[in-house]
């Protein structure tokens, strides 16, 4: 592994949160993910980049078994979170998704009040004993979502009445309300303006103190800005995975280089 | 998939990068000419040519400024990464090396103006011209290595800087000897020594440019620090005066 003098440099390295081995995903006859091996660190933002159709979102959706909802989709291989196989028959996908939160491309608040958007998850997972508990959970989540100050005076107004950027932060707050350990984000800023994007990116940076954040993004600059680790996917393969600074200044693989420098789409 | 990088999807990005690289080549060409003309004007005692070198430096300075502005624009507008980023960074660093080479040539040309009015010191002007010729060839190869992304050639140029250092050390001893022989040689020898030192510094700048070629092609800096072989100019015990005292 490393020579003795190097070990000191790695003491700050985080534990492995998600370990994937030989993951294959098929949509019917289409082989969408081929032999992906990856170790995702805890308390780190990991970015998945790659051209459309490269499999990055598909792989992201394997991590909380969102692909189970697609009939023709078949996942093979091994994905472990904290050493536990998430595809084990005994694992309840609903419980798994409480532990592995997800934020989508377009903000999708429930057609309910801001308060109820946040309270819904904790309620169904039985995280609150009483109303006071629930109030506390809602406030904490909205604060973590960096949106508390903007909505504290209108908690019972509909969530759909917020601006796009506020809605997305509401969805992030909703995702963290169930106290997940991993947060998956599928292009969380693609429908937001630059200011709202900056706010969400700032939020992602704060979230990494508590969670392992995995973000799929089409914006290379966003990956460069928010992530510590970057994985480049191409045609279903994980081509290159490494420290973000290294990937963006001196990638090993020509395909990675071609993509990040704008030579292949 | 080939190993060669293709063009950018945004062709204007290619044009921007080609633009700054064309500019650095132009700057390099001017620096090559400045080195050779400065040394030739000294050997042939040609005041007119020396004046031309002194005036020509402004063009190199102007190119450096234009290049830095253009590079800043590319960084701001294109957010270059990987090889593209290294092209921009290397061009910026090389431009400051070339600008220094221009300044050093100008300084040689200034001293030439003074030296023309004095007696020549042996054949040292010819030796200086040969030394300048060596540096000019190194620069020419370094620029070729840059355009052709030829790491091996760049490493060869770095290696050749040892010869230039060797030539400088030889001249250093020669000047000391001339000054010891006749104190009336001192003014001229001091100017000539500065010229030798200037050429030696130019060699260092060419080495730095070659290191940028290595950085551009590999993303790394050449690892080994060069070992200083001849210590004539940095060790008092090696001075020729001591020989004269019979030590």
Chain B residue numbers with beta carbons less than 8 Å from the beta carbon of A254 are 1-5
Mean pLDDT throughout B109-115?
A: 96
Note the helical H segments in chain A: 4-7, 56-62, 93-99, 114-124, 131-144, 148-151, 164-177, 194-207, 220-226, 244-249, 254-260
Q: Is there a contact between B219 and A250 if contact means CB atoms under 8 Å apart?
A: yes
| pLDDT tens sequence across B16-74 | 999 999 999 999 999 999 999 999 999 999 999 999 999 999 999 999 999 999 999 99
Rounded to a whole number of angstroms, the distance from the CA of B7 to the nearest CA of chain A is 6
A7: pLDDT strictly greater than 70: no
Q: Is there a contact between B8 and A263 if contact means CB atoms under 8 Å apart?
A: yes
Residue A134, pLDDT score: 94
**Over chain A, what is the mean pLDDT?**
91
Six token digits for residue A49:
């980049």
ipTM above 0.95, yes or no: no
Residue B227, pLDDT score: 54
Shortest CA distance to A188 belongs to which of A143, A199, A180, A178?
Answer: A199
Instruction: State the sign of the Cα–Cα–Cα–Cα dihedral B240, B243, B244, B247.
Output: positive
B238: pLDDT strictly greater than 80: no
**Contact (Cβ atoms closer than 8 angstroms) between residue A78 and residue A20:** yes
DSSP state at residue A228:
S
Six token digits for residue B95:
């431009």
Name residues 95-154 of chain B within 8 A of A (Cβ): none
Query: What CATH number is associated with residue B186?
Result: 1.20.58.220
Shortest CA distance to A43 belongs to which of A218, A238, A210?
Answer: A210
Chain A residue numbers with beta carbons less than 8 Å from the beta carbon of B83 are 257, 261
| Cβ–Cβ pairs < 8 A, chains A and B | 48
Least confident of A23-32, A80-89, B230-239: B230-239
Q: What angle do CA A52, A54, A57 make, to 5 degrees?
A: 80
Residue B221, pLDDT score: 85
**Contact (Cβ atoms closer than 8 angstroms) between residue B92 and residue B68:** yes
CA A57 – CA A180 distance, rounded (Å): 19
Name residue, tokens 């969805």: A171
Q: Is there a contact between A249 and B85 if contact means CB atoms under 8 Å apart?
A: yes
Residue B5, pLDDT score: 81
Q: Could you tell me if residue B37 is inside a domain? A: yes
Q: How confident is the model at residue B241 (pLDDT cuts 50, 70, 90)?
A: low
**Contact (Cβ atoms closer than 8 angstroms) between residue A264 and residue A253:** no
The CATH code belonging to domain A14-260 is 3.40.50.300
Residue A6, pLDDT score: 44
**What angle do helix axes A194-207 and A164-177 make, rounded to 10 degrees?**
20
Residue A161, pLDDT score: 94
| pLDDT tens sequence across A123-157 | 988 888 899 999 999 999 999 888 999 999 999 99
Residue B230, pLDDT score: 65
Of all residues in chain A, the percent with pLDDT exceeding 70 is 95
| pLDDT tens sequence across B175-221 | 999 999 999 999 999 999 999 999 999 999 999 999 999 999 998 88
Shortest CA distance to A147 belongs to which of A155, A119, A213?
Answer: A155
Count up the domains in chain B and report the number. 1
- The residue among A245, A247, A263 with the most chain B CBs within 10 A of its CB, best to mutate, is A263
Mean pLDDT throughout A25-41?
A: 95
Sheet holding A16-27, edge to edge: A30-41, A16-27, A73-81, A84-85
CA B192 – CA B38 distance, rounded (Å): 13
**Pairing verdict, β A30-41 and A84-85:** unpaired
Kindly report the number of other CB atoms within 10 A of residue A134's CB atom: 18
**Contact (Cβ atoms closer than 8 angstroms) between residue A2 and residue A13:** no
Mean pLDDT throughout A89-102?
A: 92
CA B216 – CA B90 distance, rounded (Å): 7
CA B160 – CA B145 distance, rounded (Å): 14
Separation in Å, CA A184 to CA A48, B40, B167:
11, 68, 64
Kindly report the number of other CB atoms within 10 A of residue A63's CB atom: 23
**Contact (Cβ atoms closer than 8 angstroms) between residue A212 and residue A242:** no
Per-range mean pLDDT, top range of A66-75, A164-173, A204-213, B204-213: B204-213
Least confident of A192-196, B15-19, B176-180, B234-238: B234-238
Mean pLDDT throughout A184-213?
A: 91
Instruction: State the sign of the Cα–Cα–Cα–Cα dihedral B150, B153, B159, B160.
Output: negative
Note the helical H segments in chain B: 11-43, 47-78, 82-115, 124-148, 151-181, 186-218, 240-244
The residue with greater pLDDT, B6 or A9, is B6
Q: Is A261 on the interface with B (CB under 8 A)?
A: yes
Domain that holds residue B95: 11-244
Shortest CA distance to B214 belongs to which of B146, B148, B151?
Answer: B151
Facing residue for B5 by CB, picked from A221, A224, A263: A263
CA A127 – CA A135 distance, rounded (Å): 12
Shortest CA distance to A46 belongs to which of A36, A56, A32?
Answer: A56
Q: CA-nearest residue of chain B to A253?
A: B3
Residues β-bridged to residue A84: A81
Mean pLDDT throughout B118-143?
A: 96
Q: Give CB contacts under 8 A, 24+ apart, made by B192-195.
A: B192/B111, B192/B115, B192/B121, B192/B124, B192/B125, B192/B128, B194/B107, B194/B111, B195/B42, B195/B108, B195/B111, B195/B112, B195/B128
Kindly report the number of other CB atoms within 10 A of residue A218's CB atom: 15
- The residue among A258, A259, A265 with the most chain B CBs within 10 A of its CB, best to mutate, is A258
Q: Is there a contact between B81 and A220 if contact means CB atoms under 8 Å apart?
A: yes
CA A35 – CA A68 distance, rounded (Å): 19
Q: Could you tell me if residue B2 is inside a domain? A: no
Cα B75 from chain centroid (whole Å): 27
A61: pLDDT strictly greater than 50: yes
Q: Is there a contact between B81 and A255 if contact means CB atoms under 8 Å apart?
A: no
**Contact (Cβ atoms closer than 8 angstroms) between residue A201 and residue A227:** no
Q: How confident is the model at residue B1 (pLDDT cuts 50, 70, 90)?
A: very low
């Amino acid at each position: 592994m490393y020579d003795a003098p190097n070990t000191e440099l790695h003491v700050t390295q985080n534990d492995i949160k998600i370990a994937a081995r030989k993951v294959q995903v098929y949509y019917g006859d289409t082989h969408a993910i081929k032999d992906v091996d990856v170790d995702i660190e805890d308390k780190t933002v990991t970015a998945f980049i790659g051209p459309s159709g490269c499999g990055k979102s598909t792989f992201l959706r394997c991590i909380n078994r969102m692909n189970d909802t697609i009939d023709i989709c078949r996942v093979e291989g091994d994905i472990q979170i904290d050493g536990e196989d998430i595809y084990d028959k005994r694992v309840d996908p609903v419980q798994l998704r409480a532990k592995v939160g997800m934020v989508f491309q377009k903000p999708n608040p429930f057609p309910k009040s801001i308060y109820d958007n946040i309270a819904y998850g904790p309620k169904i997972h039985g995280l609150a004993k009483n109303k006071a508990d629930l109030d506390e959970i809602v406030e904490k989540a909205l604060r973590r979502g960096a949106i508390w100050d903007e909505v504290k005076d209108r908690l019972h107004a509909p969530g759909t009445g917020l601006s796009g950027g506020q809605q997305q932060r509401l969805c992030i707050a909703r995702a963290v309300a169930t106290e997940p350990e991993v947060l998956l984000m599928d292009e969380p800023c693609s429908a937001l303006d630059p200011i709202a994007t900056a706010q969400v990116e700032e939020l992602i940076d704060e979230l990494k103190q508590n969670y392992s954040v995995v973000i799929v993004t089409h914006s290379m600059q966003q990956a460069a800005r928010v992530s510590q680790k970057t994985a480049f996917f191409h045609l279903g393969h994980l081509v290159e995975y490494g420290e973000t600074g290294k990937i963006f200044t001196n990638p090993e693989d020509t395909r990675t280089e071609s993509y990040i420098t704008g030579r292949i789409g | 998939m080939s190993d060669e990088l293709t063009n950018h999807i945004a062709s204007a990005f290619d044009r921007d990068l080609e633009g700054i690289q064309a500019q650095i080549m132009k700057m390099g060409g001017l620096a090559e000419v400045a080195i050779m003309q400065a040394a030739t004007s000294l050997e042939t005692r040609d005041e007119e040519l020396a004046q031309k070198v002194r005036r020509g430096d402004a063009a190199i300075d102007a190119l450096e400024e234009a290049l830095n502005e253009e590079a800043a624009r590319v960084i701001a507008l294109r957010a270059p990464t990987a090889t593209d980023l290294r092209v921009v960074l290397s061009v910026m660093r090389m431009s400051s090396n070339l600008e220094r080479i221009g300044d050093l040539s100008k300084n040689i040309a200034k001293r030439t103006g003074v030296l023309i009015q004095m007696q020549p010191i042996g054949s040292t002007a010819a030796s200086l011209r040969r030394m300048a010729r060596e540096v000019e060839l190194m620069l020419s190869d370094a620029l070729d290595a840059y355009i052709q992304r030829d790491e091996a050639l760049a490493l060869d140029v770095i290696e050749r800087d040892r010869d230039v250092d060797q030539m400088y050390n030889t001249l250093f001893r020669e000047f000391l000897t001339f000054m010891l022989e006749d104190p009336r040689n001192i003014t001229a020898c001091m100017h000539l020594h500065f010229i030798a030192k200037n050429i030696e510094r130019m060699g260092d700048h060419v080495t730095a440019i070659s290191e940028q070629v290595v950085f551009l092609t590999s993303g790394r800096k050449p690892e080994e620090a060069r070992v200083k072989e001849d210590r004539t100019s940095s060790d008092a015990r090696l001075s020729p005066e001591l020989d004269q005292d019979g030590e």
